[in-house]
């Protein structure tokens, strides 16, 4: 082996060791960074004229289980859905009040029932009649107030849908920018791991809001669809739109056309959204809360 080849071999080994140390240092320092994945430097033996001439540093790759990652995103949509439902159910429970509270809805019914029973025992009693009227008025007022507050929850859900749409649109634009950067680096044989980590974080945020499917192109770019097969991102983002209602009552519904849908490419996809935070909000606004309201506001 000539002195020149020996020097080149030593230099390549030092460069490879330096790169490996940089990657290891990054792995350690980002151990608790959200979205960061462990990176590995692929090294190969350099051959010149059939002889070993040091080390060649190949691509820096990420340690990611793509199948597991996809399953986690499906679960993330479910978690976003149930967290949202739980939050709204807590608010509805607060409207009803606890069973042992004197100001709860159940307590008002019990008091009304008690005054009716007392009147049944003493039908000629003036005070008993007055108690029945007062209890009935209190119950009616409480029913009306609860119905109004439930309609406010529907309006809140509609506003939250608009916020969810804005979140999805913002993340789709971020993913689009990262797609382009990853495609460019892939073409130039430059590292893409950190860019892919950033993109994964953005995809995770989209998956929490709305149920999605996706696949990866050969150039490293990701293509994203709704679970119903509508394109959200393919070279360019397709943005969602929704205008929240200015007010809400029992006659204002999505089915009647008085509540704006969630639009994608000129198509109302509201009824196609079944999971994620957005799916839960649609369900609450259009089904779960309205199922309670008519009984008290009819």
Per-residue confidence in pLDDT tens, the chain, 298 aa: 566 656 666 665 666 566 566 656 666 666 667 666 666 666 666 656 555 556 655 566 676 767 777 788 888 888 899 999 999 998 888 877 766 666 666 777 778 888 888 878 788 888 888 877 887 887 777 777 777 888 889 999 999 999 999 999 999 999 999 999 999 998 988 888 889 999 999 999 999 999 999 999 999 999 999 998 999 999 999 999 999 998 888 778 888 888 999 999 999 999 999 999 999 999 999 988 887 764 444 4
Q: Determine the pLDDT at residue 43.
A: 60
How far is Cα 242 from Cα 244, in angstroms, rounded to an integer?
Answer: 6
Partnered with residue 45 across adjacent β-strands are 55
**Residues found in the chain:** 298
Look at residue 296 in the predicted model and tell me its pLDDT: 46
- How many Å is the Cα radius of gyration of the chain? 31
Query: Which helix (H) or strand (E) is 7 found in, with range?
Result: helix 3-29
Task: Give CA separation, 210 vs 107, 121, 204, 224, 261, in Å.
Answer: 40, 58, 10, 11, 15
Closest by CA to 93, choosing from 102, 82, 105, is 105
Which pLDDT score is estimated for 108? 78
Query: For residue 45, what pLDDT is reported?
Result: 64
Q: Which of 111, 69, 88 is nearest to 207 (CA)?
A: 69
- What pLDDT score was predicted for residue 68? 79
**Is-contact 272 230, C-beta < 8 A?**
yes
Q: Give the pLDDT of residue 126.
A: 81
Distance separating alpha carbons of residues 196 and 192, to the nearest angstrom: 6
Start-end of H helices in 37-192: 66-96, 105-121, 126-187
Give the residues across from 227 on adjacent strands.
Answer: none
Q: Which pLDDT does position 294 carry in this prediction?
A: 44
Q: CA 293, CA 149: separation in Å to the nearest integer?
A: 10
Listed as own residue / partner, the contacts of 103-112 with beta carbons closer than 8 Å and 24 or more positions apart are 105/142, 105/143, 105/146, 108/135, 108/138, 108/139, 108/142, 109/139, 111/135, 111/138, 111/139, 112/136, 112/138, 112/139
Which tokens belong to 195? Answer: 């860019």
Exposure of 288 in the CB half-sphere (CA atoms within 13 A): 16
Please, which residues bridge with residue 215 across strands?
223
Bridge pairing between strands 231-234 and 222-226: antiparallel
């Amino acid at each position: 082996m000539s002195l020149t080849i020996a020097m080149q071999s030593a230099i390549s080994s030092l460069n490879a060791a330096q790169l490996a140390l940089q990657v290891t240092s990054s792995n350690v320092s980002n151990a608790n960074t959200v979205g960061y994945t462990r990176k590995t430097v692929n090294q190969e033996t350099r051959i010149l004229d059939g002889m070993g001439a040091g080390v060649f540093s190949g691509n820096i790759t990420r340690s990611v289980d793509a199948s597991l990652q996809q399953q986690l995103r499906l679960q993330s949509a479910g978690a976003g859905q149930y967290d949202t439902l739980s939050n709204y159910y807590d608010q509805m429970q607060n409207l009803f009040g606890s069973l042992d509270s004197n100001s709860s809805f159940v307590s008002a019914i019990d008091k009304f029932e008690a005054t009716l029973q007392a009147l049944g025992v003493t039908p000629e009693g003036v005070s008993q009649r007055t108690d029945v009227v007062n209890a009935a008025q209190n119950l009616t007022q409480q029913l009306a107030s609860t119905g109004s507050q439930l309609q406010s929850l529907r309006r809140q859900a509609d506003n939250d849908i608009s916020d969810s749409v804005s979140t999805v649109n913002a993340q789709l634009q971020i993913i689009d920018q990262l797609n382009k950067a990853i495609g460019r680096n892939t073409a130039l044989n430059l590292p893409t791991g950190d860019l892919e980590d950033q993109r994964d974080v953005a995809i995770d945020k989209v998956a929490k809001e709305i149920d999605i499917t996706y696949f990866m192109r050969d150039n490293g770019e990701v293509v994203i669809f709704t679970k119903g097969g509508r394109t959200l991102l393919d070279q360019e983002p397709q943005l969602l739109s929704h205008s929240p209602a200015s007010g809400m009552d029992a006659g204002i519904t999505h089915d009647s056309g008085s509540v704006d849908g969630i639009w994608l490419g000129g198509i109302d996809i509201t009824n196609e959204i079944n999971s994620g935070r957005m799916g839960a909000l649609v369900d609450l606004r259009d089904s779960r809360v309205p199922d309670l309201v008519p009984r008290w506001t009819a």
